[in-house]
A and B are shown apart, each in its own frame.
Chain A
Amino acid sequence: MKKNKILITINELNDIAKLKELGINHYVFPLKDFCVGIPNTFLVSEIPKDVYDNSYLFLNRVLDNKGIDELKKIIDSLPNIKGLIFDDVGVIPLIKDKNFESILFLNHFNTNKESVKIYLQYVDSVIVSTDITQDEIEGIVKSNPEVTLFVLGYVNAMYSRRLLIDNYVKYHHLKRTNPLKIKNGAQEFLVYENAYGTVFLASPLFNGLSLTSLKAKYYFINSAFLTFEDIKDLLEGKSSLDFNDGFLNQETIYKLKGE
C-alpha cells in the first residue's frame, strides 16, 4: 500500500495526527458551503498551518454563478495550500494562473481514456469514475498514469439540488432524520442533505483498495460517515464493516436484450 499517495478527506482535525502516524500525509478538507453529501466541512481558516503543504480543498458541489463568485474570493485569498479537488469545470478558469495542484472529480464522467486525456490538458489529475470495471480503469490508467483512483468510502450515487429529506419530513410531518437510511430490495442508500442539496450514497461502502496495485498518481479515500478506526481497519484488511467492490467486477448494461 502506497500510503504516501493517499488523499483522504478529513472528518475531524484530531484525525490528522493519527493519519500521519499511519503514514498518510495528504489531507483533503471539504470546504464549507461548497460540498454536498459530507457532514463535516471546514473553513479555510480552520486548516492547520503546519499541514498547508499537504492540504487540498474539496469542492463537490455543482456551482451556480453565486457559488463561482464566492469561490473566486476564497481563491484570491487562499494560503499556500497544495491544491483543489473539484467537480465543477467552472473552477478550472478560476485557478489556471494560480500555483495550485488541480484535480478534477467530475462525478460519473471520466469513464474513458480519451476524455481523461483531454481533461488532463487542463488539470493536473482526474479522478476516474467508480461506475466502470477494474479492466476499464486499468485501460485508463495505462494511457493516463496521472489519474487519481477512488479506492475507499461511500460513493455518490445521486445528487439532487432539491432538499429531499426536508420535503419528505415536511410532507409527512415526521421528525427529521439526516442521514436517512433507505432501502429497496437488497440495495440500501444513505441519504444526506445540506442546504445545497441531497446526496444518495450507495451502501454498503465501496472498497476498491485492490486498485492501489495500479500505478496511478494518487488514491482517493472519502472518509465521510466513517471514523479513523474504520479507515485504519479497512486499510489493514481487518474491518468488520460491510463493503463491496461496486462495479469493478460487474459491468453495467444499457441496451435491453432484444432491443
Chain B
Amino acid sequence: MPELLAPAGDLERLKIAYLYGADAVYIGGTDYSLRANAKNFNLEEIKEATTFAHHLKKKIYVTVNIVFHNKNLEGLKEYLEKLKEIAVDAVIVSDIIGLKLAKEVGLDIILSTQASVLNYSSVQFYKSLGVKRFVLGREATREDIIRIKKEKVEVECFIHGAMCTSISGKCVLSNYMTNRDSNRGGCAQICRWVFETDDVPFTFMSKDLNMVEYLEDMMNIGIDSFKVEGRMRSIYYLATVIKCYREIIDKIKSKTLKEEDKKYYKLILDRVANRDSAPQFYQKFPGSEESYFQDRIEVSNQDFLGIVTDYDKKTKLLKIEERNYFQKGDIVEFIGPNMEDITYTIESIIDEEGNSLEVARHPQMVVYLPFNHELPKYSMMRIKVFDKKQVL
C-alpha cells in the first residue's frame, strides 16, 4: 500500500495532516529548505514533530533541498547530524553535497524533485551514491515510472497541488525578476506573472496537478509514495486534500471506489484550491488545456468557516474558532478525521459570555454551537459546498 505523504509548514499543520490520514509528513527546517519564507521548523520543533509522528507510528521527512552556495555549507553537516540524532526518517536533498553529507551521517536519503530525474540511468547514478527513494520530476510519464521502478528503488510521485511550469530546479526566473534565488527558497512564482509581447500578453501558468483519475493505476504500477504539494497552504486546504486522498486510497484498497466518488472528490479538490486541476504529464502530453492564460480569474475561497477546538459533553456545545463569516440559518458541513461528513443547520450561535448571536463576524472569535455528539478536535466547519447526491 503506498504511503500518503503530506506537506506541513508548522506543527499545527503537521498534526492536522496526520489526523486527517497522512502516513508521512515532510517539513522544512528554518535553514536549507526551499520554502525559505514559510514559518518552518527549528530543531526543537523538528524534535517535537518527530516524537509526535513516531508516537503515531508515522513517518517524518525533512527537506534539505536548497542548491547550496559556498557560504550555505557552513553548519550543514552539524545540522544533518542533529537530524540523525533526532531520528527523522529521511532527508530530502537535491544538491549532491547534501546527499554526500547525509550519507556520511547515516541518514536515509530521498532525492528531491529538484534534481529532475526522469530516466533510469540517472537513477542508477544517484542510487550508487546512496539514494534510497526518488521524487521523480513532475514530467515523468506512466511509462517512465514503470521503467524506473525496474531499478528496485522507491519512487515517490506528486499526486496533487501546484505545478511549476518549469522542470523543477531548472528555473531562476525569480533571480532575474526579483533578485530572489529560487533554488534557495526565494521563488516569487514568476510563472504566474504576465509578460508583454508585441501582441497579446504572454502567460504560462500551469493548472494544478490532480491525480484522482489515475490513482488506482498509480498504485498498480507500484509507486511507493503519493505526495501532496503545499507546505505553505492553509490548514483547511491540507485537511480537505489529505482527507480526500485518504478516502480514495482506502476505497481503492477495499475495491469500493466508484466513478461518482471520483467526480465528487475532484469537485471538492478543485474548489479548495481555487484553481482548476489536471493529471498533467502522467497519461498524455499537456497542452493549452492544462494551462491558464491571462483571463484566469482567481476567487478567494471563503468556504472554511471555523475549526472545532473542544466539545462540552454536559452542555452539548461545540467550541468553534471562527475563520469566515457565518450566521444563523446557514447550512454547513463538518469534516473531520475518520468520520463521514456531517451536514448541519446553524440554529443557534452563542458567544463566550453566553449571549445569543445572529452572526459570527470576526475571524478568530470563539463561539459555541449546539451539537448532539462530540466531534474530534481539529474537525472543520465549512460551507456546504456540494450535496453529493445532488451533484452526481
Give the 10 A-B CB pairs with smallest separation, nearest first: A90-B121, A254-B186, A90-B122, A252-B181, A254-B184, A182-B195, A167-B288, A159-B170, A114-B97, A158-B171
Q: Are B70 and A167 in contact (CB under 8 A)?
A: no
Q: Are A111 and B67 in contact (CB under 8 A)?
A: yes
Q: Are B167 and A252 in contact (CB under 8 A)?
A: no
Asked whether B339 is an interface residue with its Cβ less than 8 Å from the other chain, the reply is no
- A212-252 near B? 1/0 per residue, CB < 8 Å: 00000000000000000000000000000000000100101
Q: Are A111 and B69 in contact (CB under 8 A)?
A: yes
Asked whether A91 is an interface residue with its Cβ less than 8 Å from the other chain, the reply is yes
Q: Are B288 and A170 in contact (CB under 8 A)?
A: yes
Contact status of A187 and B170, CB under 8 A, knowing A93-B125, A168-B202, A170-B288: no
Q: Are A259 and B37 in contact (CB under 8 A)?
A: yes
A115 touches which of B97, B137, B148 (Cβ 8 Å): B97
For the complex formed, measure the closest distance between the CB of B93 and the CB atoms of chain A, giving whole angstroms.
Answer: 11
Asked whether B247 is an interface residue with its Cβ less than 8 Å from the other chain, the reply is no
Asked whether B301 is an interface residue with its Cβ less than 8 Å from the other chain, the reply is no
- Scan residues 98-121 of chain A and give those whose CB is less than 8 A from a CB of chain B: 107-109, 111-115, 118-119
A62 and B72 alpha carbons, distance in the complex (Å)? 26
- Scan residues 113-167 of chain A and give those whose CB is less than 8 A from a CB of chain B: 113-115, 118-119, 122, 131-132, 136, 139-140, 156-164, 166-167
Q: Are A62 and B195 in contact (CB under 8 A)?
A: no
* Total inter-chain residue pairs, C-beta < 8 Å: 210
Asked whether A202 is an interface residue with its Cβ less than 8 Å from the other chain, the reply is yes
> Contacts of B291 on A, CB cut-off 8 Å?
162, 164, 167, 171
Asked whether A174 is an interface residue with its Cβ less than 8 Å from the other chain, the reply is yes
Asked whether B344 is an interface residue with its Cβ less than 8 Å from the other chain, the reply is no
Stretch from A5-13, A19-27, A42-50, A64-72 at the B interface:
A64-72
> Contacts of B176 on A, CB cut-off 8 Å?
157, 187, 189, 202
Query: Can you list 23 A-B pairs with a CB-CB distance of less than 8 A?
Result: A62-B170, A64-B119, A65-B119, A65-B147, A88-B121, A88-B122, A89-B126, A109-B96, A112-B69, A114-B68, A136-B69, A136-B70, A157-B172, A160-B170, A160-B204, A161-B139, A166-B288, A174-B199, A252-B179, A252-B180, A252-B181, A252-B184, A253-B181
A9 and B140 alpha carbons, distance in the complex (Å)? 29
Asked whether A74 is an interface residue with its Cβ less than 8 Å from the other chain, the reply is no
Q: How many interface residues does A have (CB within 8 Å)?
A: 67
Q: Are A182 and B196 in contact (CB under 8 A)?
A: yes
Q: Are B96 and A119 in contact (CB under 8 A)?
A: yes
> Contacts of A51 on B, CB cut-off 8 Å?
none
A157 touches which of B118, B171, B184, B204 (Cβ 8 Å): B171
- B162-179 near A? 1/0 per residue, CB < 8 Å: 000111011111011101
19 A-B pairs besides A62-B170, A174-B199 with CB distance below 8 A are: A62-B137, A64-B119, A67-B119, A88-B119, A107-B170, A114-B73, A118-B97, A158-B191, A162-B204, A167-B287, A182-B196, A183-B196, A184-B193, A184-B196, A252-B179, A252-B181, A253-B186, A254-B66, A255-B185
For the complex formed, measure the closest distance between the CB of B83 and the CB atoms of chain A, giving whole angstroms.
Answer: 18
> Contacts of A250 on B, CB cut-off 8 Å?
179
Asked whether A17 is an interface residue with its Cβ less than 8 Å from the other chain, the reply is no
For the complex formed, measure the closest distance between the CB of B87 and the CB atoms of chain A, giving whole angstroms.
Answer: 26
Q: Are B186 and A160 in contact (CB under 8 A)?
A: no
Residue of A nearest to B145 (CB): A65
A107 and B167 alpha carbons, distance in the complex (Å)? 11
For the complex formed, measure the closest distance between the CB of B112 and the CB atoms of chain A, giving whole angstroms.
Answer: 12
Q: Are B287 and A160 in contact (CB under 8 A)?
A: no
Asked whether A78 is an interface residue with its Cβ less than 8 Å from the other chain, the reply is no
Residue of A nearest to B76 (CB): A114
Asked whether B200 is an interface residue with its Cβ less than 8 Å from the other chain, the reply is yes
> Contacts of B122 on A, CB cut-off 8 Å?
63, 88-90
Asked whether B197 is an interface residue with its Cβ less than 8 Å from the other chain, the reply is yes
For the complex formed, measure the closest distance between the CB of A157 and the CB atoms of chain B, giving whole angstroms.
Answer: 5
Q: Are A115 and B68 in contact (CB under 8 A)?
A: yes
- B83-121 near A? 1/0 per residue, CB < 8 Å: 000000000001111001000000000000000111111
Asked whether A73 is an interface residue with its Cβ less than 8 Å from the other chain, the reply is no
Asked whether B281 is an interface residue with its Cβ less than 8 Å from the other chain, the reply is yes
Q: Are A161 and B281 in contact (CB under 8 A)?
A: yes
B166 touches which of A159, A163, A170, A180 (Cβ 8 Å): A159
Q: Are A68 and B70 in contact (CB under 8 A)?
A: no
Asked whether B347 is an interface residue with its Cβ less than 8 Å from the other chain, the reply is no
B68 touches which of A108, A111, A166, A181 (Cβ 8 Å): A111
A198 and B194 alpha carbons, distance in the complex (Å)? 17
For the complex formed, measure the closest distance between the CB of B293 and the CB atoms of chain A, giving whole angstroms.
Answer: 5
Q: Are B293 and A181 in contact (CB under 8 A)?
A: no
For the complex formed, measure the closest distance between the CB of B288 and the CB atoms of chain A, giving whole angstroms.
Answer: 4
Asked whether B206 is an interface residue with its Cβ less than 8 Å from the other chain, the reply is yes
B119 touches which of A68, A163, A182, A200 (Cβ 8 Å): A68
> Contacts of B37 on A, CB cut-off 8 Å?
255-256, 259
Q: Are B141 and A64 in contact (CB under 8 A)?
A: yes
Asked whether A92 is an interface residue with its Cβ less than 8 Å from the other chain, the reply is yes
Q: Are A158 and B195 in contact (CB under 8 A)?
A: no
A113 and B69 alpha carbons, distance in the complex (Å)? 8
For the complex formed, measure the closest distance between the CB of B59 and the CB atoms of chain A, giving whole angstroms.
Answer: 27
Which of B200, B202, B203 counts the most chain A CB atoms within 10 A? B202
